[in-house]
Structure formats: structure tokens, C-alpha cells
Structure 1
Amino acid sequence: MSSVPPESDPEDTNKQSFWMPGNYQRTVKRTEDAFQACNDIVTCFQERARLERQYAQQLSEWSNKWKPLVDTSPLYGSLLRAWQCFLSSADRLSTLHASVCRSLVSEDGDRIRTWQKETFHKKLFGGFRESQDFDVGFARAQKPWAKRLKKLEKAKAAFHKASRKEHTAQEREVHAQGNPDITMEKQRKIQEEREITHQETQKVRARYEKVLEEVTRYAPRYMEEMESIFDQAQEEERKRISFLKQAFLSIHRHLDVTNNESVKAVYNELHNTLMSVSEQQDLRWWKNTYGPGMPTDWPQFQEWMPDKKLKKAKKEVEPKDVVMERSVMIGGVRVRALYDYVGQEPDELTFKAGEQFLKTEDEDDQGWCRGMMDGGREGLYPANYVEVV
């Protein structure tokens, strides 16, 4: 059974986009990450160098211990020379591993440290000049775009607010038409109110469309400037990857110390792994590890299993301040319905014009209040459908 990729919210995905204000920081941070990676690489192979030195010392000690015994052994001829060859091979391996230790420290370690010093320039008060240059470049390119986005968001909010107000006015007009309890004069006022809200909506809509057009017109220039800075950051990252790849290959050459076929196979495999460094494979791995390709444990039917007998927990006594806080919420404001309303959702109230009930929560941003009918039923209702008694 193929796994279904997890659905992601388009709005959340858009917020994570490189083009959104401030999201370039992940690219800027690569400089500091690469500097720290150099420190970790040097420390890692310094430990390996100590292991090589210890192994060389142990080989030498083992050979010196057994040489006198082998030389005075009862063996002779080619058999004796074969035994002695094991010891002389150990001496040569000891020398070789000692040289590996020196190469890892003085050659590979110093090479990475030198490149690190030449590539990363620390600032007086922390951070790196390279990071600051990219940060300033991205911020400069993004500043006018961020201002336009903020202006666009404000225009959109105003348009949605006006549209919501117009929609409410339209509903009031529909409910008022043909209602004998509402005078013609009041119906005329409701109709005028609806026309005013319509005109305001059209006015705000035009402003919103104008700002959107400005943002759309500026987008190509913004993308060009951002991509220009991003390409510079990519080029610096390419140089780092290329250098570290060569550094790894150099370390590999120093560690590949034998022509034994079994050991050679191990180092050939390592060499092939180093030579197979690929941007595409790295990106594919990221996708399958942290992106849409991640495996998901989708819900499956599970049989019911009886729970183990648990000790009853002591009933917690609610603090006094919680009880007092609840008592403050008791009560409300008495309101009277101006129009009939039939709830469209399970959490909405249904009432008729003239009916009275309690308003228990004030109006929210969407134009809804919470109330409680005399029978005890609670729910939401449009704020403009009632008046305070």
C-alpha cells in the first residue's frame, strides 16, 4: 500500500516561502553553520589521529615484546623468516600509522583551519562579515516588498470588512421585506443602508485591486533582486561544498594505508561514497526525511483491549480563585430580537423577532455574539439582529 503524503496548509506553506519577509535568514545562517562544521570536522579527525597514534604505539610495543622470543625460538629457515615477517610488518605498519596521525593533524587539519580563516571573517562584536553582507543585501531587496505586502494586507482586510458589512445589510433587507412588523419607513432606511454599504464595498474593492496591481507590477523586480543575492550565497556555498569534498578526499588518501584486497574494498567503498556527493541526492534525501516524502503512520483499525486496573486518583480541589472567576461570567445583558433568525449551524441560536434572551459574550471580529435562551440553550447569533432591552 502506497503511503499518502500528508496534506499541508497552503497558507502555512506560503508563510515558509523564501519570498516572504524574513525567511531569507535560513540562507544567511548557512555561513555560521559551515564555520561550525569546519570546527567539528577538525575535532573529529583529531580524535582519529589519536587513535592512529595509539595503534602505532601498540604495534611497536607488540613487535618489541616478541622479537627476542621469536629470534631464540626453535624454529628455523623459511618458517622462522615467516614468523619474523609478521613482526617486521608490524613495525612498518606502526611507522605508516604514525605518519597518518601526523598527516591528519598537520596537513588536513591545518589546511581546513587555514581555509576557514581565509573564508570566514569574524566581526568585532560577533558574527561574520559574509553573513552580514548577505543579510543586508536581502533586507535591502525585501524592504520595499515588505512595505507593499503590508499595504496590500491592510487593503484586503478593509475590503473583507466592508464585504462582510454589506452581506449583513443584504440579509437584513431580505428579512425586512414582507415583514408586517417593520414599517415602510424602516424598510426604506434598511434599503438605503444596504446601498451605502454596497457603494463603500465597491470603493474599498477598487483600492484593494489598485494596491494588488502595484504589488504584482513590482514582483518581477523584487524577484530579480532577491535571486541576485541568493545566487551569490549559492556560489559561496558551492565553494564550501567543493573545498570540504576535497578535504574529505585528502583525509581518505591518508587513511587508505594498505593494498590488502579486503581492506581496499572498504576504502574503495568509502571513496565511491565521497565521489558520489550530489546536490540532487541531498535534496531528495531532505524531501524524503523532512518533506512530503516522509512516511506516515496512517490510522488503522485497532481492537479494544481492557485497561489495567488503575488506582483512583485523588479528586483535585479547585482553587478558590477559579471558582470566583467562573462566578464573574454568570449573568449577561438582556436583548430583544429585531428579526427572525434560523441557525445555520448546530452552535447557532434560532429565534423570532421580539423574542428576548441573554447576551453572554460581546461581539467578535466576525460580527457574532454568544447568547443563552430562557430554556438554557446557548449559541451564537448575528450581533445586528438584536437590540439591548
Structure 2
Amino acid sequence: MHLIKIFKVNFTECFSFLLRFSSMSTLPNENPSEDASNQSFWMPGNYQRSVRRTEDSFQACGEIVACFQERARVERQYAQQLSEWSTKWKPLVDASPLYGSLLRAWQCFLTSADRLSILHTSICRSLVSEDGDRMRTWQKETFHKKMFGGFRESQDFETGFSRAQKPWAKRLKKLDKARNAYHKACRKEHVAQDRETHARGNPDIAIEKQRKIQEEREQARLEKEKVRSRYEKVLEEVTRYAPRYMEEMESIFDQSQEEERKRISFLKQAFLSIHRHLDVTNDENVKAVYSELHHTLMSINEQEDLRWWKNSHGPGMPTDWPHFQEWTAPQKKQKKGKKEEQKNPPERTVMIGGVHVKALYDYVGQEPDELSFKAGDEFIKTEEEDDQGWCRGMKDGGREGLYPANYVEVIQ
């Protein structure tokens, strides 16, 4: 069907098309349209641009690998800088005067940097080991180098185009020769006509001489017609061959287009893979890092921080208010502010049934016989406060121990 379509081309258009080809001259051409036609794919040798696409694609693959290897180094350096930044500031932040939720927010920036460092290190590995290796493997499988340089694919296209164009080039050369001969004959006739015109109006030229000039002009005309007939015959032969030439050339060109289509398709997928690795906006790990950081920042609570400071370093701290103390004989060394169990402990006021109390602050027991609790915990006070400010209580599960009396309040 393709061949039939070619043969349906209007003969006049085809003739005009070929006439432009045949008008080539060795002299510089001042007509831009003719210069453009000389660059046409159909002109002898101009298929080289299509042949060179194989070498160009191979070179582009190498440049793509080098380009994103450099990007991988950027990712690795960024990951290293994040890690170094976090390592440098962590001890300084931990020792900073900030406290509570504000301190945790600052520290979260450093832990987020550590996690992002790991992420960008993985991006570096993906670009090198996955995308780079994939590109090199495809390059090796697609481009087959010859022993003496070049690629087998390029040679196959070069051979195909050259074989299809060789008969056409011969015909064009023959046509060019016929055209030059015709133009030469035309110039010769034109000169003879000028001489005849000049001689006809000149009474100084003898009649015999004028007759001879007329015979030369007639002979030039007959020679021109003969050469013109040969030129038209060669042109007709070239015109008849044009559809076959176009079909053969397009067949080879379509093969080169299919190879190029495969290359473009692969490189598209390669670029999409690189984009997927670099696009951290859709990475769930990155989303988790910044989501956690945002949650930590939103958790900064001035009231909670102020309450912690009050209970840890302010009026909320437990203290041993001054009171009258009897002198007692020296006993075994005890820890300040803490009543230890004695073999014969002084009597405590034991509360029948106990009293329910609620913790106002967190307390972590320093000794095995002390209770630990958090603010808001409820338990039972089983003994009244002693003279050092300690009470005994019992939590759910039967755990008993001492605790600071001013850390709790009685539940009404």
C-alpha cells in the first residue's frame, strides 16, 4: 500500500522536485531555498545525521551517568553535613538552659537531621547502585562496539542507506551531466544568435560571412534540441526511479526510528526512576520526620514548663521548715531528710482504713522503701506525717513506702 501511495504522486510535482535536485551547481548558490534543498535527507550523503544518532545516544548515556553520579555525591555530602551538624550541637543543646517541652523541641531538630541524613544516604546509594548500574547494563546490551571502532548498529544503517542511495546517486550524476550539457548548448546557441543579430545589421560584413553565421546558429539550435532530448530522457528515467528510491530509503529510516524510539522510551523510564528517588516530597519517611517535628513543636506548653520549674526549682519544692528539735544522742548515720527503719522504730500514728490522697507532682523514690508516683496518681496514706515531713502510703497492688508529705493532697 505504501508503494501504491508513492506512485500516486503527481508527476508534475515529482518532476519539479527532481528538477530542483538537478539544478545543483559547483558554483556557490545564492538562493536560500536551493541551499535548504541541498540539506534535504534525500540528497546523497545527508542520511549521515540519522546514522550518527547511535553514537550520539551512546555518548548521552555516559553523560547522564556522570551527571547523576555527581548528584549522588551531592546527596552524600549533604547527608554527612547533616550528621556532623547534629553531632556538633547535640551536647550543647542537652546542656542548654532550656527545659521541658521547649528543650525537647530543640532536640527534635537534631534527631530529625539524623533521620534525614540516613534518607539522603539511601538516595545516594539508589542513584549509584540502582540507576547508574541500570543505565550501564542497558548501554552495554544496546550498543555493540566493533573491534576497530564504531557500533554495529551504525554500520548496519550506514550500509542500508548507502545501498539504497547508490543507484539514485548514479542517476543524479548522470542527470547533472545531461543538464550541464544542455545548458552549455543553450549558451552556445545564445552566442550564435547574438552574432547573427549583430551581423544582420552591419553592412560591413559580407553576405557570405552572414550566411555562414546563420548556418552556425542553426547548427547550434539543432545541437541544443538534441541535447535537450537526451536531458529530458535522463530526467524521465530519474523520475520513474524516484518512488522506489523513496520507499527503500524510508524503510531503512523507519528501522532507525524504531531503534531511536526504544532509546527514548528507556531514557524516559530512567529519568522517572531518578525522579522517584530524588522526590522526597512523597517519601513517607520524610513525611514522618517532619510530622513528628511539627507535633513536637506544637506540644510546647508554657504552663507545663513553668509548673515543672516551680516544682523542681521554685516554691513547689519540698523543704524542711524550721521547728523546735530536741537534742538526741548520736545514732547510726542517717541520710538527711529521710527516716530509716530502726530495729525499734518510734511509734507512728497508724490510720485505721487510711486516707485517700492524690499526687500533686511526680516523685521518684531514691531508696527501696520509698514510693514512686506521677502527678495525678491516687493511693492511700496509711500513716500520718512524721517530724521530718514523711508519710507512709500504699498503692494498688499492696506496694508500701515513704513519700514527701507535701507532694500529695487529701481527696475530699
Counterpart in the other structure of 1:291: none
Match of 2:159 among 130, 133, 136: 136
Output the amino acid matched with 1:137. Answer: G
Output the amino acid matched with 2:158. Answer: D
Q: How far apart are 1:183 and its partner, in Å?
A: 1.0
Counterpart in the other structure of 1:363: none
1:216 partnered with 2:251: no
1:176 partnered with 2:199: yes
Match of 1:27 among 43, 50, 54: 50
Q: How far apart are 1:76 and its partner, in Å?
A: 2.2
Counterpart in the other structure of 1:322: none
Q: How far apart are 1:77 and its partner, in Å?
A: 2.1
Indicate the SS of the match to 2:96: coil
CA distance in 2, matches of 1:26, 1:18: 9
| Runs of 5+ consecutive residues of structure 1 not aligned to the other structure | 1-6, 265-389
Q: How far apart are 1:152 and its partner, in Å?
A: 0.2
CA distance in 1, matches of 2:212, 2:31: 47
CA distance in 1, matches of 2:272, 2:250: 32
Q: How far apart are 1:259 and its partner, in Å?
A: 5.2
Over 3 Å counting, the alpha-carbon distance change for 1:69 and 1:259 in structure 2 is: farther
Match of 1:120 among 126, 129, 143: 143
Output the amino acid matched with 1:160. Answer: H
Output the amino acid matched with 2:181. Answer: A
Indicate the SS of the match to 1:21: coil
Q: How far apart are 1:17 and its partner, in Å?
A: 0.6
1:12 partnered with 2:44: no
Over 3 Å counting, the alpha-carbon distance change for 1:116 and 1:201 in structure 2 is: same
Q: How far apart are 1:215 and its partner, in Å?
A: 0.5
Q: How far apart are 1:184 and its partner, in Å?
A: 1.0
Aligned-residue sequence identity (percent) comes to 83
CA distance in 1, matches of 2:103, 2:191: 106
Match of 1:39 among 51, 62, 66: 62
Counterpart in the other structure of 1:228: 251
CA distance in 2, matches of 1:150, 1:9: 22
Counterpart in the other structure of 2:26: none
CA distance in 2, matches of 1:232, 1:77: 71
Counterpart in the other structure of 2:223: 200
Q: CA RMSD in A?
A: 1.7
CA distance in 2, matches of 1:196, 1:66: 105
Indicate the SS of the match to 1:51: helix
Q: How far apart are 1:11 and its partner, in Å?
A: 1.6
- With the length of structure 1 as denominator, give the TM-score of the two structures: 0.64
Over 3 Å counting, the alpha-carbon distance change for 1:46 and 1:120 in structure 2 is: same
Counterpart in the other structure of 2:127: 104
CA distance in 1, matches of 2:273, 2:190: 71
CA distance in 1, matches of 2:282, 2:168: 61
After TM superposition, the structure 1 = structure 2 runs for residues 298-377 of structure 1, keeping only pairs within 5 Å, are none
Output the amino acid matched with 1:68. Answer: P
CA distance in 1, matches of 2:255, 2:180: 37
1:189 partnered with 2:220: no
Indicate the SS of the match to 2:217: helix
Post-superposition Cα deviations, 1:174-224, rounded to whole Å, max 9, x if no partner, equal: 111142111111111111111111110000000000000000110000000
Q: How far apart are 1:25 and its partner, in Å?
A: 0.3
Q: How far apart are 1:8 and its partner, in Å?
A: 6.3
Greater relative contact order (CA < 8 Å, ≥ 6 in sequence):
2
Match of 1:89 among 88, 112, 130: 112
CA distance in 1, matches of 2:210, 2:85: 108
Q: How far apart are 1:87 and its partner, in Å?
A: 0.6
Q: How far apart are 1:229 and its partner, in Å?
A: 0.6
CA distance in 2, matches of 1:35, 1:180: 78
1:80 partnered with 2:92: no
Moved more, 71-80 or 152-161: 71-80
Indicate the SS of the match to 1:258: helix
Output the amino acid matched with 1:166. Answer: E
Counterpart in the other structure of 2:351: none
CA distance in 2, matches of 1:8, 1:95: 64
Counterpart in the other structure of 2:5: none
CA distance in 1, matches of 2:33, 2:79: 59
Over 3 Å counting, the alpha-carbon distance change for 1:179 and 1:8 in structure 2 is: closer
Counterpart in the other structure of 1:162: 185
| Runs of 5+ consecutive residues of structure 2 not aligned to the other structure | 1-29, 288-412
Match of 1:152 among 161, 172, 175: 175
Post-superposition Cα deviations, 1:15-37, rounded to whole Å, max 9, x if no partner, equal: 11100000000110011000000
Indicate the SS of the match to 2:211: helix
Over 3 Å counting, the alpha-carbon distance change for 1:95 and 1:122 in structure 2 is: same
- With the length of structure 2 as denominator, give the TM-score of the two structures: 0.60
1:57 partnered with 2:75: no
